[in-house]
């Protein structure tokens, strides 16, 4: 933390002192008035900071499940994100709207469900959801909205969809939305050509964007890597905004900034420094327990990401994939730490909202499934941490309320004082009340997620209900079965609950369009 108190603290301190001074009014009115005038003079010079709108730093990781230390994982080391969680509110039940990069990112940035954006798969069209649904051609993303309301907006690396590793190897913008940014910075890095040995871990899957490969990069060459380069560019932008002057060509230095930084790890290929790869030995990797015949009671599309048919990894290769994934997460975490350190060093932290999340979750062997696309908990749940100036009382707390990635747009509008200007068609709800009191109940009772093969899911605080078109249904009771091993959809004892969820799903689908 920098030495300067947040504006909200300064205001509170001033009011407390002023009240105390008035209590002394009868004792020495003349001296009191001198003190009051002195305090007002100081306050007039400092309260301008309270009226300032905060900067916003949005950090989006790629293919990251909630495996962070602050989420209870005792193996994967993420000290910098754990630090951020201690400075903000961690959301235990946050869910994506589509467990694949392109649709999820378009949904997050537009504040609209995929059924509304009509982006139901990855595409590379500039304009993103504006192209997939021309009715949204004038609908601004989070970045575009802030640009229109007094912010300078920046993108570094992947925010909207970009193919990984191909988009980084080519240094292109992917399916970006240019209207979102005043300046956008693509990253070009070696990825599959990184120094080190490229090791294929998934014999049945050769495509680099969806197989499992790993590379241990020599420690001295870490600066060649995409996320290191992205963090370096982001730190340079923070330096620019902290030190910008009106007498040069800095871009509107008087305005607050919105900086969206995309880190591509732990998306495959799993590339990390050798020191981190070695810190997660394959032989020590603990794969999740999977009961025999676990997928026998689910519809066929629910098992599409099963290892045997899609990846063909043996036990040692699965352990290698898990170890490399954790090493990639730790490497990404180090880059988040560089951003947080820069905010502190430049005394920007006290007036900057920091939000960290992922585009979707990821299966790491649960149900013998790997990667994304499924509707199991691990694939749909995302880490979400929000740290905002002024919410001191809730720092380090956790919320178990249901949250969705589409809630980030209205949350940012709320935190920047722009609620009255945000688009009327947003489908999310602000999380700011939960920053004020993380334990309070929320009106939103379920998260809605869609995926390929007509898959749809509702997640409430207790149940998950999945439907795969006419292929079948799943129902899991998280109070009794938190790992979703037993599908209750065929259990007569749950027929009434199943009927209720069917009705809720139909209603939610219509509302999402």
Q: How many CB atoms lie within 10 A of CB 338?
A: 17
pLDDT at 39: 45
pLDDT at 1: 30
pLDDT tens track for 451-508: 999 999 999 999 999 999 999 999 999 999 999 999 999 999 999 999 999 999 999 9
pLDDT at 260: 98
Q: Using the 8-state DSSP alphabet, how is residue 222 labeled? A: G
Rounded Cα distance between 301 and 467, Å, is 10
pLDDT at 399: 98
Q: How many CB atoms lie within 10 A of CB 223?
A: 10
The residue ranges of the chain whose pLDDT is under 50 are: 1-28, 30-51
Report yes or no: 390 and 8 within 8 Å, Cβ to Cβ. yes
Report yes or no: 8 and 356 within 8 Å, Cβ to Cβ. no
pLDDT at 2: 31
With 0-12 / 13-18 / 19 or more C-beta atoms within 10 angstroms meaning exposed / middle / buried, residue 434 is: buried
Report yes or no: 109 and 130 within 8 Å, Cβ to Cβ. no
Rg (the chain; Cα; Å): 24
pLDDT tens track for 85-130: 999 999 999 999 999 999 999 999 999 999 999 999 998 999 999 9
pLDDT at 44: 39
pLDDT at 40: 44
Rounded Cα distance between 337 and 350, Å, is 16
> What sign for the dihedral angle of Cα 450, 455, 456, 460?
negative
pLDDT at 123: 87
Q: Give the pair of three-digit tokens for residue 204.
A: 């049945």
């Amino acid at each position: 933390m920098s030495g300067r108190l947040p504006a909200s603290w300064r205001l509170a301190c001033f009011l407390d002192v002023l009240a105390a001074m008035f209590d002394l009014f009868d004792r020495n009115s003349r001296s009191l008035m001198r003190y009051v005038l002195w305090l007002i003079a100081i306050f007039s010079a400092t309260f301008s900071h309270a009226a300032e709108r905060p900067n916003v730093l949005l950090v989006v990781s790629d293919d990251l499940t909630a495996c962070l230390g602050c989420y209870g994982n005792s193996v994967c080391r993420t000290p910098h994100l754990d630090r951020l969680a201690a400075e903000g509110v961690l959301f235990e039940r946050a869910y994506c709207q589509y467990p694949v990069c392109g649709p999820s990112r378009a949904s997050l940035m537009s504040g609209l469900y995929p059924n509304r954006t009509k982006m139901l798969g990855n595409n590379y069209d500039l304009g993103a959801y504006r192209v997939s649904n021309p009715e949204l051609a004038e609908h601004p993303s989070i970045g575009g909205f802030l640009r229109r309301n007094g912010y300078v907006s920046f993108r570094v690396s992947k925010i909207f969809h970009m193919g990984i590793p191909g988009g980084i190897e080519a240094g292109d913008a992917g399916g970006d939305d240019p209207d979102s940014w005043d300046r956008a910075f693509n990253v070009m890095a070696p990825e599959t050509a990184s120094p080190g040995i490229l090791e294929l871990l998934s014999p049945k899957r050769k495509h680099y964007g969806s197989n499992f490969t790993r590379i241990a990069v020599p420690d001295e060459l870490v600066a060649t890597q995409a996320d290191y380069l992205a963090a370096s560019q982001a730190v340079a932008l923070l330096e620019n905004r902290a030190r910008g002057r009106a007498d040069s060509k800095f871009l509107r230095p008087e305005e607050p900034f919105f900086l969206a930084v995309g880190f591509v790890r732990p998306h495959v290929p799993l590339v990390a420094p050798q020191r981190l790869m070695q810190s997660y030995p394959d032989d020590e990797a603990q794969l999740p327990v999977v009961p025999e015949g676990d997928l026998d009671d689910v519809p066929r599309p629910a098992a599409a990401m099963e290892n045997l048919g899609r990846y063909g990894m043996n036990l040692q290769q699965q352990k290698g994939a898990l170890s490399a994934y954790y090493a990639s997460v730790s490497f990404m975490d180090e880059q988040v730490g560089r951003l947080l350190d820069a905010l502190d060093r430049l005394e920007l932290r006290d007036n900057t909202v920091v939000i960290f999340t992922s585009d979707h979750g990821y299966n790491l062997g649960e149900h013998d499934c790997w990667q994304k696309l499924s509707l199991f908990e691990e694939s749909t749940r995302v880490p979400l941490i929000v740290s905002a100036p002024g919410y001191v009382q809730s720092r380090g707390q956790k919320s178990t309320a249901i949250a969705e990635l589409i809630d980030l747009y209205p949350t940012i509008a709320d935190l920047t004082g722009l609620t009255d200007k945000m688009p009327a068609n947003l489908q999310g709800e602000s999380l700011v009340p939960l920053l004020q009191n993380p334990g309070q109940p929320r009106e939103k009772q379920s998260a809605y997620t869609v995926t390929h093969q007509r898959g749809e899911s509702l997640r409430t605080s207790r149940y998950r209900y999945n439907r795969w078109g006419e292929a079948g249904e799943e129902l899991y009771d998280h109070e009794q079965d938190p790992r979703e091993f037993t599908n209750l959809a065929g259990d007569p004892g749950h027929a009434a609950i199943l009927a209720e969820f069917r009705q809720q799903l139909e209603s939610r689908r219509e509302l999402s369009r």
